[in-house]
């Protein structure tokens, strides 16, 4: 199922749903209890008697109005499977649910006298409309429910956060000399895909080791076709050199087959073959060839040692373990493919603290596999209510049988126990970090005399080299630390901008950022597009931090004044003498400059925010500059003509290796003097402003 599909959310092979829109009730006044209260917040869950009295369950008030809206929905609801959505007065989706019999399920909500958890009562009190989508089967309803929860992010559902796509290893199949590379996204290119891996770092380490073990090329097809001599990777024995026919077609095909076998789970057989070849070469006194096989065996051993625990009896499985503590939930996921451990990742789904581990895990799984291929076996730490239904849904997606189970003994149980230990430890670290972050935000509000503890902090910085490749950046922090999916970069594009004018660059960045908040983009239907990844996280900052002094602060005040912004607190952070960390000066509007003690935790926190913004903007700047360098080649380096350019390329093989080289290595190239080597190095490694 494609979660981006707007025509048919069930997928290309599912029947098109029949949509029923139910009439809206009169808009009620919402109760004082905040419907968005989430597990882990400071507020306590309201007790049932208090909520009933507050919301007027006896026949008036928002709870009664919500019951009336649901009762109208019941009269028009089908008795077949489907998905229902509860909406508030603003048209926001509060909850998405599925049922085998929609009318029966909604009837449970409509009974005013029935005992309900406080969470359900708050949801009913905020409901004014119910929308229903009918499906043919309950399995289709489960798939549609997961899709809609991920798209709409209703506040009363369990929400999977940080749902990034997983990286894979691809051995291409559209070239006579296949390439090995990291791949994300749709698997449309011909070839063999191996994964998922838990992180890009795990993929990069594995590819590097596979290059050492199997000597498969990693260069692009265009680079491959343009080679007239082997590149540096051939010299350091990380490529067999098929580009210049250092290895014939049959020999390279053997290397590709061995790599494919290893990634397909036949690692023991591959290692046996390499060991036999090493012994054969040694007996024939071909010690150099024997050393090559020895190094390849060592590279394979390195891959498996990095993977940690590897199962003996489980070829392909995902392991899920959930742990709850302090109102938070952590789901730890381990990926096992071809009998190898391909990494793990911790998730912290958004769920109210009244949800049981089984409820959180069940909803999490449906959303997790919404856009991912399931393995043959899914192992769980807790029994979920609809495991059979989930297995059927995953089988439809995979086109084969998928087993969902809670193991009771043996190695599978050990794998789940190991995942549960990791979930417990990850949640412990999360709670410690959250508590520390909360204390720091409280201390910052007190020290800087802010009107309230900031929930969203935005830090701005810009980077350029003599006005070229100018880029601005915004990083975001909140109660849970840095919120990296909210980071933004701004390529400076104002015409007539004086090179190096930091004030003008900051003006452009802030205007673009806050004009977008003041006038958000709209869909054709007129509904505002919410770019937030989490409904609980605000889009407006409470505090804006600028890298600079009083001048940058005043310039920012002018920009905010022109935009009519007054509710956002401002602060500028000026570096200490000689950029000495710990001696920064803080500037705030209409106040004397603030200097904190060097060991003050608040100062250290501000330094972390400033340094993270600097790291992000420098990284963005370097990516932009590298793109220009690759497009321009070596022509723009002063003093580097065609002869020296050829000498450099012949010596290093690629522009990327020239970029990596030290001054001493550059100086070893024939015709390159020490001064030229310095210029080349400084061209690739400038000091940004």
Report the side by side order of strands in the sheet with 168-172: 180-183, 168-172, 191-194
Indicate the angle between helix axes 387-398 and 138-152, nearest 10 degrees: 80
DSSP of 53-78, one letter per residue? HHHTTTT-SHHHHHHHHHHHHHHH--
Pairing of strands 317-325, 377-380: parallel
Residues spanned by CATH 3.40.1440.10 within the chain? 18-152
The answer to whether the beta carbons of residues 230 and 244 sit under 8 Å apart is: yes
Residues spanned by CATH 1.10.150.20 within the chain? 633-684
pLDDT of residue 265: 66
- The H or E element that residue 302 is part of is helix 287-306
Pairing of strands 569-574, 543-547: parallel
Per the CATH hierarchy, to which homologous superfamily does domain 633-684 belong? 5' to 3' exonuclease, C-terminal subdomain (1.10.150.20)
Mean pLDDT by 10 residues, the chain (689 residues): 40 42 37 35 41 45 82 88 90 90 88 77 89 89 88 86 78 90 86 83 81 86 85 86 89 88 72 77 76 74 57 82 88 84 86 87 88 88 90 88 91 91 88 83 90 90 63 86 85 64 79 81 43 61 88 87 84 74 82 84 88 82 58 58 73 70 80 81 67
Give 18-152's CATH code, choosing from 3.40.50.10310, 3.90.600.10, 3.30.750.210, 3.40.1440.10.
3.40.1440.10
pLDDT of residue 667: 81
CA distance 136 to 150: 21
The answer to whether the beta carbons of residues 507 and 560 sit under 8 Å apart is: no
Torsion from C-alpha of 152, 155, 156, 158, nearest 10 degrees: 70
Strand partners, 478: 481
What is the sign of the dihedral through the CA atoms of 350, 356, 361 and 366?
Answer: negative
Backbone phi and psi for residue 325, each to the nearest 5 degrees, phi listed first: -165, 140
Q: Which residues contact 646 (CB under 8 A, 6 or more apart)?
A: none
Residue with tokens 């412990």: 428
- Output the CATH code of domain 457-522+537-624: 3.30.420.340
Residues spanned by CATH 3.30.420.340 within the chain? 317-429, 457-522+537-624
Residue 564 CA, chain-centre distance (Å), reads 34
The answer to whether the beta carbons of residues 318 and 334 sit under 8 Å apart is: yes
Nearest to 179 by CA among 94, 114, 239: 239
**What are the CA-CA distances from residue 178 to residues 236, 260, 293, 395 (Å)?**
20, 11, 21, 32
- Number of C-beta neighbours around residue 435 at 10 A: 11
Return the half-sphere exposure (C-beta side, CA atoms, 13 A cut-off) of residue 398: 18
Return the half-sphere exposure (C-beta side, CA atoms, 13 A cut-off) of residue 141: 24
pLDDT of residue 27: 35
pLDDT of residue 379: 94
Torsion from C-alpha of 71, 72, 75, 81, nearest 10 degrees: -80
Three-state SS sequence of 227-238 = CCCCCHHHHCCC
- Output the CATH code of domain 317-429: 3.30.420.340
CA distance 528 to 90: 11
- Number of C-beta neighbours around residue 18 at 10 A: 12
């Amino acid at each position: 199922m494609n979660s981006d599909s707007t025509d048919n959310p069930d997928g290309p092979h599912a029947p098109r749903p029949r949509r029923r829109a139910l009439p809206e009730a009169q808009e009620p006044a919402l109760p004082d209890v905040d419907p968005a209260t989430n597990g882990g917040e400071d507020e306590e869950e309201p007790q049932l008697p208090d909520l009933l009295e507050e919301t007027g369950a006896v026949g008036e008030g928002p709870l009664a109005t919500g019951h009336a809206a649901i009762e109208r929905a019941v009269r028009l609801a089908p008795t077949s499977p489907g998905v229902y959505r509860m909406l508030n007065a603003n048209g926001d989706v509060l909850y998405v649910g599925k049922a085998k019999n929609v009318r029966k399920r909604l009837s449970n909500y409509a009974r005013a006298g029935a005992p309900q958890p406080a969470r359900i009562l708050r949801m009913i009190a905020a409901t004014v409309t119910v929308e229903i989508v009918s499906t043919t089967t309950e399995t289709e309803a489960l798939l549609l429910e997961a899709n809609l929860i991920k798209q709409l992010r209703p506040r009363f559902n369990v929400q999977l956060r940080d749902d990034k796509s997983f990286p894979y290893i691809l051995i291409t199949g559209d070239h006579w000399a296949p390439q090995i590379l990291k791949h994300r996204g749709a698997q449309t290119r011909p070839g063999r895909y191996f994964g998922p891996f838990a992180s890009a770092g795990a993929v990069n380490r594995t590819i590097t080791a596979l290059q050492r073990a199997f000597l498969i090329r990693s260069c692009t097809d265009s680079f491959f076709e343009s080679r007239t001599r082997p590149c540096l990777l051939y010299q350091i024995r990380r490529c067999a050199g098929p580009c210049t026919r250092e290895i014939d077609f049959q020999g390279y095909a053997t290397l590709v087959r061995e790599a494919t076998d290893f990634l397909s789970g036949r690692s023991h057989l591959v290692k046996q073959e390499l060991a036999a070849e090493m012994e054969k070469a040694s007996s024939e006194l071909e010690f150099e060839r024997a050393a090559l096989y020895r190094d390849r065996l060592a590279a394979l051993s390195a891959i498996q040692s990095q993977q940690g625990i590897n199962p003996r009896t489980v070829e392909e499985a995902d392991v899920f373990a959930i742990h709850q503590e302090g109102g938070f939930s952590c789901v730890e996921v381990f990926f096992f493919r071809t009998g190898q451990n391909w990494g793990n990742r911790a998730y912290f789904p958004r769920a109210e603290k009244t949800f049981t581990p089984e409820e959180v895990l069940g909803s999490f799984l449906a959303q997790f596999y919404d856009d991912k291929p399931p393995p043959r076996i899914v192992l769980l730490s807790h029994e979920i209510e609809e495991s059979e239904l989930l297995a059927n849904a995953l089988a439809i997606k995979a086109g084969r049988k998928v087993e969902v189970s809670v193991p009771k003994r043996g190695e599978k149980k050990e794998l789940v126990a190991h995942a549960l230990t990791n979930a417990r430890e990850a949640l412990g670290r999360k709670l410690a970090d959250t508590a520390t972050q909360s204390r720091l935000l409280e201390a910052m509000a007190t020290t800087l005399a802010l009107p309230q503890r900031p929930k969203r902090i935005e830090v701005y910085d810009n980077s350029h080299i003599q006005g070229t490749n100018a880029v601005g950046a915004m990083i975001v922090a909140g109660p849970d630390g840095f919120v990296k999916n909210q980071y933004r970069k701004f390529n400076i594009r104002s015409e007539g901008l004086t090179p190096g004018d930091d004030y003008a660059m900051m003006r452009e960045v802030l205007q673009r950022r806050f004009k977008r908040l003041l006038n958000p983009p709209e869909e054709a239907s007129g509904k505002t597009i919410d770019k937030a990844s989490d409904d609980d996280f605000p889009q407006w900052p409470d505090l804006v931090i600028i890298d600079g002094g009083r001048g940058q602060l005043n310039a920012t005040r002018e920009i905010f004044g022109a935009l009519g912004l007054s509710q956002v607190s401002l602060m500028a952070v000026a570096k200490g003498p000689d950029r000495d960390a710990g001696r920064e000066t803080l500037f705030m509007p209409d106040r004397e400059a603030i200097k904190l003690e060097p060991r003050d935790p608040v100062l250290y926190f501000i330094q972390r925010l400033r340094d993270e913004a600097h790291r992000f903007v420098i990284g963005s700047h370097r990516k932009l500059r590298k793109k220009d360098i690759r497009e321009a080649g070596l022509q723009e380096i002063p003093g580097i003509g065609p002869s020296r350019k050829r000498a450099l390329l012949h010596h290093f093989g690629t522009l990327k290796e020239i970029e990596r080289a030290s001054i001493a290595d550059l100086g070893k190239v024939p015709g390159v003097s020490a001064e030229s080597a310095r210029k080349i190095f400084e061209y690739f490694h400038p000091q940004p402003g």
